A = this chain, B = another copy of it.
């Protein structure tokens, strides 16, 4: 079976299990609110990563399915709360949970998804001490995601965010959950300690690359494929790695205003936004971020040498190429 087909079947399996898990409890409205994002689709990268890793270290992929679904629920819970916090009205082409329902319901549905994630985790077919390890990993991870989200909220009003702070935030908001997926998959699959550590690091590096690539797409991406209007990150004033790099490079440059005029200016004309993007291109900031992400991707792929030569290893490699390289 080719990898594309196998991935498709894995996604279908995850979708099926996930939606069954989320259909939980006695409160109809709460169930609908919990299902709102999971049923709108998604790439299911975290469960896929957990399943592939479990198989690659010699275990059964099926054994990692509840754990993978648990992380997907965590991911969706953070999206629900993020959208309330950021007042984002749309997600995956549908009204956000707090719009389709209301803010109280969105806060509660997020909490319920989070609780449910642990109920599903408890079903993992591993011995009790391995479960303790998974529990620690998931909880540490969600705590870091919360820290990352708090950094994001705090950084919104700051213009002096450093590159290190930005990368720290990206690691927490995005990379740690991928790291947890691969680490957990390796634990469930019965991998060696070396494999568990390497796979965690593989996924962490991929996660950082994934987010930086997202920054590139937010400026250069094809609107039809990314679903966001071109340059929306500029109008929203997002302090991405690209913008941080440009601010450094333009510090004493008379062209700086071309960027700052459009950045965070919701009323900036299309021409002004295009001019800002051209400037980012000219000074090499977009290319800087692109190379930065590709470097993380390369380092991630190098770590796959901890795995035996197998189909799943190849698919984990392709997963990186998809995460860092997609839609451009």
Contacts and interface: CB of A to CB of B under 8 A. Distances in A.
Interface in A219-266: none
Interface string A77-119: 0100100110000000000000000011101111110111011
Given A116-B143, A131-B132, A150 B81 contact: no
Interface stretch (A25-33, A189-197, A274-282, A320-328): A25-33
A283 to B, nearest CB: 33
Given A81-B107, A143-B112, A150 B118 contact: no
A299 to B, nearest CB: 24
B150 A136 contact: no
A112 B151 CA distance: 13
B118 A138 contact: yes
B122 A136 contact: yes
A147 B27 contact: yes
Given A29-B154, A128-B128, A150-B27, A139 B112 contact: no
A127 interface: yes
Nearest to A134: B122
Taken together, the copies of this chain in the complex come to: 2
Given A104-B153, A112-B147, A140 B119 contact: yes
B128 A143 contact: no
A146 interface: yes
A187 interface: no
Contacts of A151: 27
Contact of A85 (B107, B112, B146): B107
A108 B139 contact: no
A122 B139 contact: yes
15 contacts: A25-B143, A27-B147, A29-B150, A85-B103, A85-B107, A85-B108, A108-B146, A108-B153, A111-B114, A112-B150, A115-B139, A121-B139, A122-B132, A128-B131, A128-B132
A-B complex: 6 closest residue pairs judged by Cβ atoms: A128-B128, A115-B142, A112-B146, A118-B139, A119-B139, A115-B143
Interface of A: 24-27, 29-30, 78, 81, 84-85, 103-105, 107-112, 114-116, 118-119, 121-122, 127-132, 135-136, 138-140, 142-143, 146-147, 149-151, 153-154
Given A85-B103, A108-B150, 19 more contacts: A29-B150, A81-B107, A81-B111, A85-B107, A105-B153, A111-B149, A112-B143, A112-B150, A114-B114, A115-B140, A115-B143, A118-B118, A118-B139, A119-B136, A121-B135, A122-B132, A122-B135, A131-B131, A135-B135
